[in-house]
Amino acid sequence: MQMLGETQADNFGNWSFRILSRLASGNTTFRALSFDPTGQTSQPSGPFAINVDTTPPDAPSIDTVVDDVSPAGDLASGDISNDNTPALSGSAEPGSSISVFAGGVLLGTTMTDAEGNWSFTPDALADGSYDFTVTATDAAGNTSQESASFSLNIDATAPTAPTISLATDTGADIADGITNDATVTVDGLEANATWEYSTDGGNTWSAGTGTSFELGEGTYANGDVQVRQTDVAGNTSPVDSLGQVVVDLSAPTAPTLSLATDTGADITDGMTNDATVTVDGLEANATWEYSTDGGTTWTTGTGTSFELGEGSYADGAVQVRQTDVAGNVSPADALGPITVDLSAPTAPTLSLATDTGADIADGITNDATVTVDGLEANATWEYSTDGGTTWTTGTGTSFELGEGTYADGDVQVRQSDVAGNVSPVDSLGPIVVDLSAPTAPTISLAMIPARISPMALPTMPP
């Protein structure tokens, strides 16, 4: 037994003693003896054993850091996490107290279990970069060196919503959401963020690439088309969405063209004096345009018809096409060869074939034939004998008058060209058609007075 030293008890019998020499590590048992003033020595006290430990424990380790916020999982040092309360765990001397630091600031303590395992979840951390370290303090109060640092960038703030828009809202109204361009543009993406889009109001999502995606042909209700982004920490933004969208990738059928009226004797020959062209088969709210030069230039149409200028148009020169509200252009429909003739022909001329009798200009004739001149090629003509009240279709180049008297202007003629344009009339002056021979004259002897001697009279020829 080694004598460490002496001390004096106070009037109440209490004493204390500070050991000034360094004790060796290990188990040490202490006993005390008392001496009274007469030099009598007491029996030794009962033993008081302590274990002297002055050796710090080995540095602990941070083995695992877990992100519990979706997308959850184990983190590696240097990662970015959207979990501001990451779960740290590691190993140290069993029974030691673990102090957890972030950048040298104590976050809290925890204890290791009998196997030396420990875990710790800090209170919510602000966004930022953190270097986590731990120390272990054993039961004797010896504290280890710091562990290796575990670096983590905490980002628990969701990014702003990206924005989406139609790449091109085609058609006459560029803000109606009806388009033949299926591309949707995505803007406002964070660097290195991933993004996804939905076409069913957020029920299902598809991963996006680049800065756009394509819609399928169809109608999408307000809010059906959505987009959202997820930053590198895993935070997901709010969504942005489009209003109602109609993607129409199909061209409308060609409208149909026809002459409003194919005038003239032949109603299918394309020669007309009605310049109106009728357009049928137009889609609701479609715009349309027509061409008169085979599609080289186009003019916007209104209503359901347009007017041609006078002239001849080759087969296919007159065309029409329509553009639906999405901007899809139909094939063209075309007319065959067309002639628009808006000019009346000149009046044909009338004359008696023969003005018989002594006066060949008196309009009194026994030849009922009236000659018609100045007829256009392929024109039809008609004549009237009652001043234009009624008309009779003529053939050839003449017609026959009935016997009788016709006042000035009673006998008229006019012609209609192949387009149906009617000429002015030409007329005859007063006419008498006399087809009846006069009755034979009579002859008789005149009475001769008696006192006159008879004389021979010349014989009259029969």
CATH number at residue 193: 2.60.40
Average pLDDT over residues 346-371: 94
Asked if residue 357 and residue 319 are part of one domain, the reply reads: no
Strand-pairing partners, residue 126, are none
**Are 184 and 212 found together in one domain?**
yes
Question: Which of these, 421, 424, 425, lies nearest to 275 by C-alpha position?
Answer: 421
pLDDT, mean of residues 160-177: 95
Query: Same domain for 128 and 106?
Result: yes
Same domain, 374 and 425: yes
Q: Which of 39-48, 221-230, 266-275 has the lowest mean pLDDT?
A: 39-48
DSSP letter for each residue of 172-194:
S-TTSSEES--EEEEE-PPTT-E
Q: Is residue 280 part of a domain?
A: yes
Judgement on whether residues 334 and 356 belong to the same structural domain of the protein:
no
Supply the pLDDT for residue 460: 47
The pLDDT-based confidence of 30 (bands split at 50, 70, 90) is: confident
**Scanning the structure block, which residue is given the tokens 């109060």?**
141
State the average pLDDT over residues 117-143: 96
Please list the alpha-helical segments (H only) found in 70-171: none
Same domain flag for 198 and 145: no
Looking at the fold, whether 269 and 243 belong to one and the same domain comes out as no
Q: Which of 340, 364, 397 is the last residue of a domain?
A: 340
Helix ranges (H only) for 9-127 are: none
pLDDT of residue 43: 82
Would you say residue 217 has pLDDT above 80? yes
Whether this prediction's pTM lies above 0.85 is answered by no
The answer to whether position 4 is within a domain reads no
Instruction: State yes or no: pLDDT of 452 exceeds 80.
Output: no
Q: Say yes or no to pLDDT of 28 above 80.
A: no
* Mean pLDDT across 155-170: 97
Q: CA 283, CA 253: separation in Å to the nearest integer?
A: 9
Q: Is residue 175 part of a domain?
A: yes
Query: In the listed set 154, 182, 197, which residue is the last one of a domain according to the structure?
Result: 154
| Residues 368, 296 share a domain | no
* Of 43 and 115, the one with more pLDDT: 115
Asked if the model's pLDDT at residue 121 lies above 80, the reply is yes
The answer to whether residue 20 is domain-embedded is no
Q: Is residue 21 part of a domain?
A: no
Q: Edge-to-edge, what's the strand order for the sheet holding 305-307? A: 256-259, 276-280, 305-307
The pLDDT of residue 364? 95
Please say whether the beta carbons of 16 and 6 come within 8 A: no
Average pLDDT, the chain: 92
Q: Please indicate, yes or no, whether residues 232 and 209 belong to a single structural domain of this protein.
A: yes
pLDDT tens-digit series, residues 66-78: 999 988 899 999 9
Is 60 exceeded by the pLDDT of residue 285?
yes
How many whole angstroms separate alpha carbon 255 and alpha carbon 335?
12
Same domain, 263 and 234: no
State the pLDDT at residue 376.
Answer: 94
Whether residue 237 sits in one domain with residue 172: yes
Q: Domain range spanning residue 236?
A: 163-247
Q: What pLDDT digit, counting tens, does each position of 394-445 carry?
A: 999 999 999 999 999 999 999 999 999 999 999 999 999 999 998 999 988 8
Reply yes or no on whether the pLDDT at 457 is more than 50. Answer: no
- Is residue 87 assigned to a domain? yes
- 235 & 178 share domain: yes
Q: Does 49 have pLDDT greater than 80?
A: no
Beta bridge partners of 291: 319
The number of distinct structural domains making up the chain is 4
Q: Is residue 457 part of a domain?
A: no
Collect contacts of 267-270 with beta carbons under 8 A, ≥24 apart.
269/418, 270/335, 270/336, 270/337, 270/338, 270/339
Q: For 263, which DSSP code?
A: -
- Give the residue-averaged pLDDT of 211-224: 98
Q: Give residue for tokens 């991963």.
A: 207
Instruction: For residues 226 and 187, give the distance between their C-alpha atoms in angstroms, rounded to a whole number.
Output: 13
Is residue 26 over pLDDT 50?
yes
Give the pLDDT band (50/70/90) at residue 451: low
**314 or 10, greater pLDDT:** 314
Q: How far separated are the first and last CA of the chain, in Å rounded?
A: 210
Tell me the pLDDT tens digit for each residue of 88-108: 999 999 999 999 999 999 999
- pLDDT of res. 41: 84
Give the pLDDT mean for 326-347.
Answer: 96
| Residue 403, domain member (yes or no) | yes
Q: Which of 20, 60, 48, 27 is nearest to 142 (CA)?
A: 60
Name the residue among 406, 405, 400, 403 with its Cα closest to residue 436.
403
